Amino acid sequence: MKQRACSHPASRALRTRSGVAGLLAATFLASASLIHPATAQDGETTITAVMHSGLRVLDPIITTAHITRNHGYMIYDVLVATDENFEPQPQMADWTISDDNLVYTFTLRDGLTFHDGEPVTAADAVASLNRWGERDSGGQLIFDVTESLEATDDKTIVWTLEKPFPALLDTIGKQSAIPPFIMPERVASGSADEAITDYTGSGPFVFVEEEYEPGVSVTYEKFEDYVPRDEEPSWMAGGKDVKVDRVEWVTMPDAQTTINALISGEIDYIEQVQVDLLPLLETSQDVVVETRDDLGYQTIGRMNFLYPPFDDVKIRQAAMMALSQEDVLGTLIGNPEYYTTCGAIFGCGTPLADETGSETLTSGGDVEGAKQLLEEAGYDNTPVVLMQPTDVVSLTAQPVVAAQALREAGFNVDMQAMDWQTLVTRRASQAEPSEGGWNLFFTNWMVPEINSPLISPMLNGRGDEAWFGWPTDEKIEELRAEFIAADTPEKQKEVAAKIQAHNMENVNYIPLGQYIMPQARRDNITGMIPSPVPVFWNVEKSE
């Protein structure tokens, strides 16, 4: 059972009140023609959604960007999926485990077909898992102890380990960071460092490539040959029964225009609504505001370990000491009903929560202490290239607040504005900061995708194989191995506390607290699954 650190009033669904919807809608109508693509056919049921970001990166294995992950769930499927109780369930395959816990045998279910009409085979799954294992933090750990992974026939995958890995099913079934989406062998056999160009999946929707406008709009059509499981949907598990013909994601950078479009019925769904704009939705009786998950998100800062100044642990410590969670969250969210300070790297409200070492973050920061650390470290005014996304409501405040705090502490901050998808591309570059690289950026993680050292991307210390920032940290790797070997929840919690303390000392990343971001939909959109990842199967749209 999920534990909860606190109760958020915002986690209750709220139906907005009636009012002056017509006035707000009129403001929007002048630009309505820019919103709704004219490609849908008469009689088709189409959901038009404004997601948190435009989609530019289409390969869900080379990035952890949430919009690309969301795209992945539309068109791909997974072998194992996590349900709302955090339990792995069969999705494309069921499994058996040998008595010595070294051999996992997966059997593909009947009816699995790629969008090009070819059947899904075990060879496709093996190639996909191998490619995923090169990029994913948890996947790397599994392949460290893998003796072999092979397709013994068209429907059977045999995964043989050199020693037990108790969290194997949890890791390959995780819903986020990088889920191991299954692609055709011809696609997955390519390099994990190069983006795919063939977007054939076997999931419940088909990507309509000819209608795709990068960063502007993306269209999905129901895959008529998809065979859903018989179970009720539960998070990423269960039956993925598509009940609409098309889903269109459109980009609308202006938040108020987006809200007006929802009120007027020009769009059906907004993935993230700025909390300070919620009163605008109280003008419409036809709009429902709700949250998908009351654990919410953790917002974080990540430094580049390859270049000065953050190749120096003392300077990383100074930067963390200068920051205040309350300042960040208060500016980002505003309403304290929607956020909580939390220094636990695994998230408050989770079994491994521990806030050791976060005292300055949760108590308002210590600028004077940061100044002293900078002096002790001999900081030489090296610029800090801080990337600032300007088009995602949940990411615009953190860089601005951090830049001010760092400057007050004595850092020379070069804040560079860009859209989020440019940042997502640039953060993968290991170029020097002065030549198109970076020193610091901020992002957000769903708490369920960072609640264990086996799945949290920031706790990978493998240098060039690690997540963006590329720390070489032998200690964190030793602690993750110790966590794998821990055979009871109590022992795991003890190791997790050590990892918490190490992270706060080494500053692998800076946890900046938790928040929840409400979503909004027209009330004729029903059946949305209350999962941390927004999905569009099971959803119906009535007239």
Domains, the chain, in order of start with CATH, read 9-35+252-294+518-541 (3.40.190.10), 61-67+75-203 (3.90.76.10), 297-515 (3.10.105.10)
* 187-202 confidence digits (pLDDT tens): 999 998 899 999 999 9
The arithmetic mean of pLDDT across residues 154-160, rounded, is 98
pLDDT of residue 30: 36
CB 448 within 8 A of CB 293: yes
426, 433 contact by CB (below 8 A): no
In total, the chain counts a number of residues equal to 543
pLDDT tens per residue, range 254-273: 888 999 999 999 999 999 99
pLDDT 10s digits, 421-457:
899 899 999 999 999 999 999 999 989 889 899 889 9
d(CA 442, CA 423): 10
Asked if pLDDT for residue 42 goes beyond 90, the answer is no
Distance (Å) of CA 160 to CA 173, 233, 293: 17, 30, 36
The model's confidence at residue 1, banded by pLDDT at 50, 70 and 90, is very low
Instruction: Please count the other Cβ atoms lying within 10 Å of the Cβ belonging to residue 436.
Output: 10
> pLDDT at residue 6 above 50?
no
Q: What is the pLDDT of residues 289-299, one digit of tens each?
A: 998 877 889 99
191-196's contacts with Cβ under 8 Å and 24+ in sequence apart are: 192/61, 192/62, 192/131, 192/132, 192/134, 192/135, 193/62, 193/134, 194/62, 195/57, 195/58, 195/59, 195/62, 196/58, 196/59, 196/61
**Residue 159: predicted pLDDT:** 98
CB 497 within 8 A of CB 356: yes
Compute the average pLDDT of residues 362-367.
96
Are the CB atoms for 339 and 333 separated by under 8 Å? yes
- Partnered with residue 31 across adjacent β-strands are none
Alpha carbon separation from 471 to 166, 323, 447, 460 (Å, rounded): 26, 21, 22, 8
Structure tokens at 330: 């208060």
Token output for 491: 């022992």
Task: Give me the amino acid identity at 216.
Answer: V
Find where tokens 């490619």 sit.
Answer: 131
**Confidence grade of residue 393 (pLDDT, cut at 50, 70, 90):** confident
- pLDDT, one tens digit per residue, over 52-81 is 989 999 999 999 889 999 999 999 999 999
pLDDT of residue 487: 82
Q: Is the pLDDT of residue 96 over 60?
A: yes
Name the average pLDDT for the chain.
90
CA 120 to centroid of chain Cα atoms? 27
Q: How far apart are CA 180 and CA 175, in angstroms?
A: 9
